[in-house]
Structures are given as C-alpha cells and as structure tokens.
Amino acid sequence: MGLLAVFILTLVVGQSISIGLGLLVERHTTPYTGLITFIGAYFLMFWLAWRFAIRVTAPSTRLGAWLGSAGR
C-alpha cells in the first residue's frame, strides 16, 4: 500500500511540473513545441515516479521499512 501511495503522490507532483514546463515552453516558443514538451515530460514522469517509489519503499531503506510496518 505504501508503494502505491508514494507513486501517486510523486506522480501528482511530477505532472504538475510537466504542466508548468509545457506552459513555460509554449509561452516562449510555439504552442506545438509546448505540446511536444508537455507530452514528453508527461510520460517521463510516470517512469520517474515509479522508479522513485520503488527506491523509496525498498525494504532496505528506513522510509521503506516504516511504510511497510505501518500497514501491519
């Protein structure tokens, strides 16, 4: 359960960054470039959020041990 919670929280933060990055690029270039930047960052955030969630909730880390024991 902790893995899913960390993943969703990280994903919300990451997608907010994706939106901001896309809007920033769109403001300084063309809307097409902003859209391409947003789409690339959107899918990249799913991968990064999953990798981060797995690393944080690994049993060898303190946070992972705490998240794993919290559900028991």
Question: Between residues 6 and 62, which one has the greater pLDDT?
Answer: 6
Q: pTM surpassing 0.85?
A: no
Measured CA distances, 30 to 19, 27, 40 (Å): 15, 7, 16
Report pLDDT for 71.
57
Please provide residue 58's backbone torsions phi and psi, each rounded to the nearest 5 degrees: -60, 140
Measured CA distances, 52 to 1, 11, 32, 39, 47 (Å): 15, 10, 30, 20, 9
Other beta carbons less than 10 A from residue 45's beta carbon: 21
For 19-63, the pLDDT digits (tens) are: 999 999 999 999 999 999 999 999 999 999 999 999 988 877 566
Which residue's structure tokens are 């880390």?
61
Question: Between residues 35 and 67, which one has the greater pLDDT?
Answer: 35
